[in-house]
A and B are shown apart, each in its own frame.
Chain A
């Protein structure tokens, strides 16, 4: 029963952490405060969705951080200076991700190895484009990321929007259902007449698309890029998917959960910093929060299975 409502635990984790943060730092409980707390979670949420697309088809992407960095570098250079060329390059990146998915499936390669290898390719390209940190965010992205809508801060609005769109895409749409089916049982999907290579390429292509969006959103916040700007996103995105109730195999993912997972991870870091915990302990404490949530989930799902 509970395992059907896998979204409950991420929501509860986020709510508890948010309450604790507000208690520690009442200043955060405002339009301005919420935006500051969560605006850097927007690119992480997009990257987490990208990772979720890959995990959805039973693979894992170790190149995502480098890929988002590369997208950020292109956004801060080509997309700003020569928008048309920039768009073409970014589309090319999405296409190369789709191709990577097709190759991984056709040659039956382990995704973990291919993506690890590709992370050096993306990293190298990013360094090639921006050997020293710099570039500038295109004005419209900067405007979009710093917009101050009435009532609800941009960061919250963006998170809701990302969750809603990807929920419709992955859970409600026909394509999303089949894609999750690839993760569940690729063979039966193939028997039903679907071309699994094309489906995997689609899943990877979607991951590439969200990875590019993450890079663009990040540059919108930072105003300029750096070839190493998002390296942390690889691990954050995997943790976000799992924290949000997703599973490594079986196509069991939750886009709403993934977005909440990304928010929770961002908030956990801020919370620990408000606690004035020494940085040496912070990584460990972040891991401890993760393990705590995962343990809770395991307990719930066991009990759910027994019931």
Chain B
């Protein structure tokens, strides 16, 4: 009798749960594909790995029927357009897309939408209105760096800006955000700006070159992949290490931990986690489930503070970048924020 009662209670609970999700339909028979244009660096490798892990788990749990990943052999828009058209033919219900070009895939994306396929683009987003976009607010990331510096250095001072690869959209956006931040916190002044190309060795050379001409620098704003090189350049020049905002790379985190242990160095590290692919996967799943999702969503940054440093460093493989795998709940949170 008791088991029967418990059973009934469980059933009632289940019914309640089903009721709460009543506007959503099951996606157990739906198939999701990842169309990826490039796999040639550690960020993309981590991205593919996270996607595959997330998709495999979702398939095992019966949330979706398939979550295959495809990468084009060459980073070319025409090839990826053909890949998307093949996915339509293969009967996928949704395509999660990291695009080779924001515009050159629009024709193929439109074909997919017309065929009733849900297209969710992320990182490399597409402009076709029928697709969903999970964009990165790079300008906000740049501004956040200066905001953080303002909390740590209320008196302000001179800043050195390390930029990324010249002529790339991301570089312009982050830099724009940094300059907005400096305009807001007028106690700061950018006294030098170099291009570090998001690579430690390039950044080190560039910073070493400009350092002799600079007055005292209290902070360095970066774009990720360049903080460690900057620190090395300051050390080689015999100057005190300023407050360098880092970009989640493993070598940067390791250096930060060493400095913290040696002299209590404190900073902030932020970047976009490659796990954004798993966020896109869940967003696609939610759309298939019938959830009303706004077309434009924003990815949260992955921020590492003094408190999470040890955990982040432990979970980041050497030569890689700190990552986080987004869950269904994270996706629901992002969707709710955008509404």
* B-side contacts of A269, CB under 8 Å: 79, 82
Which of B9-17, B105-113, B191-199, B215-223 contacts its partner? B105-113
Instruction: Knowing A266-B82, A269-B82, A283-B74 are in contact, say whether A274-B103 is a contact too (CB < 8 A).
Output: no
Q: How far is the CA of A230 from the CA of B104 in the complex (A)?
A: 10
CB <8 Å contact, A36 and B85? yes
Contact with A along B293-318 (1 / 0, CB 8 A): 00000000000000000000000000
Interface residues on A, range: 35 or more
CB <8 Å contact, B89 and A224? no
CB <8 Å contact, B74 and A232? yes
Contact with B along A260-289 (1 / 0, CB 8 A): 000000100110011010011011000000
Instruction: Knowing A40-B78, A232-B79, A282-B73 are in contact, say whether A226-B101 is a contact too (CB < 8 A).
Output: yes
* A-side contacts of B108, CB under 8 Å: 221-222
CB <8 Å contact, B89 and A37? yes
Instruction: Knowing A36-B89, A273-B83, A274-B90 are in contact, say whether A226-B103 is a contact too (CB < 8 A).
Output: yes
Does A27 have its Cβ within 8 Å of any Cβ on chain B? yes
Q: How far is the CA of A131 from the CA of B81 in the complex (A)?
A: 21
> Which residue from chain B places its CB closest to the CB of A44 in the assembled complex?
B78
Contact with A along B58-97 (1 / 0, CB 8 A): 0000000000101111101111011101101111000000
Does A135 have its Cβ within 8 Å of any Cβ on chain B? yes
Does A225 have its Cβ within 8 Å of any Cβ on chain B? yes
> Which residue from chain B places its CB closest to the CB of A224 in the assembled complex?
B103
CB <8 Å contact, A270 and B86? yes
Instruction: Knowing A221-B81, A270-B82 are in contact, say whether A226-B104 is a contact too (CB < 8 A).
Output: yes
Interface residues on B, range: 35 or more
Q: How far is the CA of A304 from the CA of B127 in the complex (A)?
A: 54
Q: Which of B71, B104, B115 contacts A222 (CB 8 A)?
A: B104
Does B240 have its Cβ within 8 Å of any Cβ on chain A? no
Instruction: Knowing A27-B91, A36-B88 are in contact, say whether A229-B77 is a contact too (CB < 8 A).
Output: yes
Q: How far is the CA of A218 from the CA of B115 in the complex (A)?
A: 21
Q: How far is the CB of A141 from chain B (nearest CB, A)?
A: 11
Q: How far is the CA of A175 from the CA of B132 in the complex (A)?
A: 52
Instruction: Knowing A134-B103, A279-B70 are in contact, say whether A228-B77 is a contact too (CB < 8 A).
Output: yes
* A-side contacts of B39, CB under 8 Å: 279
* B-side contacts of A32, CB under 8 Å: 115
CB <8 Å contact, B106 and A223? yes
* A-side contacts of B86, CB under 8 Å: 36-37, 270, 273-274
Does A89 have its Cβ within 8 Å of any Cβ on chain B? no
Contacts across chains A and B counted by CB atoms under 8 Å: 96
CB <8 Å contact, A279 and B73? yes
Instruction: Knowing A40-B78, A274-B90 are in contact, say whether A225-B73 is a contact too (CB < 8 A).
Output: no
Contact with A along B101-134 (1 / 0, CB 8 A): 1111111101100010000000000011000000
CB <8 Å contact, A133 and B104? yes
CB <8 Å contact, A133 and B71? no
* A-side contacts of B68, CB under 8 Å: 276
* B-side contacts of A229, CB under 8 Å: 77-78, 101, 104
Q: How far is the CA of A266 from the CA of B83 in the complex (A)?
A: 11
> Which residue from chain A places its CB closest to the CB of B88 in the assembled complex?
A36
CB <8 Å contact, A28 and B89? yes
* A-side contacts of B128, CB under 8 Å: 223
Q: How far is the CB of B281 from chain A (nearest CB, A)?
A: 19
CB <8 Å contact, B70 and A36? no
Does A82 have its Cβ within 8 Å of any Cβ on chain B? no
* B-side contacts of A222, CB under 8 Å: 77-78, 81, 103-108
Q: How far is the CA of A230 from the CA of B101 in the complex (A)?
A: 12
Q: How far is the CA of A282 from the CA of B71 in the complex (A)?
A: 10
Q: Which of B72, B89, B101, B111 has the most CB of A within 10 A?
A: B89
CB <8 Å contact, B107 and A221? yes
Q: Which of A25, A223, A228, A274 contacts B107 (CB 8 A)?
A: A223
Does A39 have its Cβ within 8 Å of any Cβ on chain B? yes
CB <8 Å contact, B101 and A25? no
Q: How far is the CB of A75 from chain B (nearest CB, A)?
A: 13
Contact with B along A115-131 (1 / 0, CB 8 A): 00000000000000001
Q: How far is the CB of A114 from chain B (nearest CB, A)?
A: 25
* B-side contacts of A233, CB under 8 Å: 78
Could you tell me which residues of chain A, from 209 to 246, have a CB within 8 Å of some CB in chain B? 218, 220-226, 228-233
Q: How far is the CA of A229 from the CA of B39 in the complex (A)?
A: 19
Q: How far is the CB of A80 from chain B (nearest CB, A)?
A: 13
Instruction: Knowing A223-B107, A273-B70 are in contact, say whether A133-B81 is a contact too (CB < 8 A).
Output: no
Q: How far is the CB of B205 from chain A (nearest CB, A)?
A: 26
CB <8 Å contact, A225 and B104? yes
* A-side contacts of B106, CB under 8 Å: 222-224
Q: Which of B76, B86, B167 has the most CB of A within 10 A?
A: B86
Q: Which of B71, B85, B89, B90 contacts A40 (CB 8 A)?
A: B85
* B-side contacts of A133, CB under 8 Å: 101-104
Q: How far is the CA of A37 from the CA of B83 in the complex (A)?
A: 10
CB <8 Å contact, A27 and B78? no
* A-side contacts of B76, CB under 8 Å: 228, 231-232
Does A250 have its Cβ within 8 Å of any Cβ on chain B? no
* B-side contacts of A231, CB under 8 Å: 76
29 contacts between A and B (CB under 8 A): A27-B89, A27-B90, A32-B115, A36-B85, A36-B89, A40-B78, A133-B101, A133-B104, A218-B78, A220-B107, A221-B81, A222-B78, A222-B103, A222-B104, A222-B105, A222-B108, A223-B103, A223-B106, A224-B127, A225-B104, A226-B77, A226-B101, A229-B77, A269-B79, A270-B86, A273-B70, A273-B86, A276-B68, A279-B39
Known: A135-B103, A222-B104, A223-B128. 10 other contacts (CB 8 A): A27-B91, A33-B89, A40-B85, A222-B78, A222-B105, A223-B107, A224-B127, A269-B79, A270-B85, A274-B86
Closest 4 CB pairs of A and B: A224-B103, A223-B106, A226-B104, A222-B107
